Amino acid sequence: MAAVITTEVKPAQRLLTAADLAALPSRLPTGDVNYELRYGVLIIMSPTGGPHGATIRKLFNVFGNQVNTTHFGELTTGDGLILSQDPDDVTAPDIAAYLNHTLPIQTSPEGYSLTIPDLVAEVRSKNDWQPEIDDKVERYLRAGVKLVLIVDPARRAVQIYRPEQPPVLLGASDTIDISDLIPGLHVQVSDLLPQV
């Protein structure tokens, strides 16, 4: 999950839609740029560092192996996801897992997923603030995501969030067991983290 620059909604501010978001350029004179919408307010995503990308690749490999082994559904990375509409709340989870009962994934005219994934994993960046993370987790759970993983490479830890349950914090030597959601998925936290 990349750190964000946020702005508060002002009374006269025009809220953007998913269509507006899709029309924005992905490249500026200064380089590539990514955006999200938080209830119609544009969020400019700041670039992430090497550990962030390495962790996403590890997550994708671990979950991808389970997809291939158990055929539980479909895995995406970085794809646009509409959490709610009017005003539009559009994010791009680092990893999203859709179980078979949610397939096929329904999409908006802009190509963003309208289907809410069962599991989302986000990788915490060095610039992420805890209130931003808490807000995003709450939005995912409110939209219907059953399990949110926040992977923190710097702290070498993972937090697990489920609806109406307190978060669970696991250290590098602990094992993540989410086999109730994805059959057979047991993984040590250290296996999801870059080598130190």
pLDDT of the chain, 196 residues: tens digit per residue: 555 555 565 566 799 999 999 999 999 898 888 999 999 999 998 777 778 888 999 999 998 888 778 888 999 999 999 999 999 999 999 999 999 999 999 999 999 999 999 999 999 988 888 999 999 999 999 999 999 999 999 999 999 999 999 999 999 999 999 999 988 889 999 999 987 6
Report the pLDDT value the prediction gives residue 65, as an integer from 0 to 100.
Answer: 85
Q: Tell me which residue has tokens 């599991």.
A: 119
Name beta bridge partners: 89: 84
CA distances from 166 to 54, 57, 99 (A): 28, 28, 24
C-alpha triplet 123, 81, 99: angle, nearest 5°: 80
CATH assignment of 48-192? 3.90.1570.10
Rounded CA separation 169/193 (Å): 15
